[in-house]
Amino acid sequence: MTAKISIQKATADDSHEVAVMVGELLSEIINAIGVQAFNFDLDETTNRLKDFLHREKYFVFVARKSDGNAVGFVALYESYALYAEGSFGTIPELYVRPEFRSNRVGLRLVSQAKSFGASRGWKRLEVTTPPMPQFDKTLAFYEREGFAIAGGHKLKVVL
């Protein structure tokens, strides 16, 4: 039996709970790739999220069971680029707890992200997945939801 799930826009009060799930997501990625690619501190992440939400720099939607427990979330931020024809959204994090995967929770979170983006006048949504076999299921999920490979690799430099 599938649990009843609702999706709500996160507030600062949700920051700790979302930060816990960020930690779960990062641990899952680190375990999959075998590299300590991220630093994570729960208190710092919680405070950072509160600040981002307060300044409306970051938008988060949380999936919850009817008992109020969070089962997943999607985060978004607004960007601007000439190639994108104006403003667009980026999904830096999407996470569904393993026991709720294949229950359409991810689909519902992406659908919420698309609706939110459209309401803000975004031209597109972008997401990056690692080009590694460990993330083939993730890539297939996004492709099923209408995302198309745009080329390139995501690179970073630490400042």
Model confidence over 88-140: pLDDT tens digits?
A: 999 999 999 999 998 999 999 999 999 999 999 999 999 988 777 788 888 88
Residue with tokens 């690619």: 37
Residue 91, pLDDT score: 96
Cα(76)–Cα(62) distance, integer angstroms: 12
Average of per-residue pLDDT across 74-97: 95
64 Rama class: left (phi>0) / alpha (psi -120 to 50) / beta: beta
Q: Does domain 5-144 have CATH number 3.40.630.30?
A: yes
pTM of the predicted structure, to 2 decimals: 0.91
Q: How confident is the model at residue 1 (pLDDT cuts 50, 70, 90)?
A: very low
Q: For the chain, what is the mean pLDDT? A: 91
Residue 2, pLDDT score: 55
Average of per-residue pLDDT across 44-61: 96
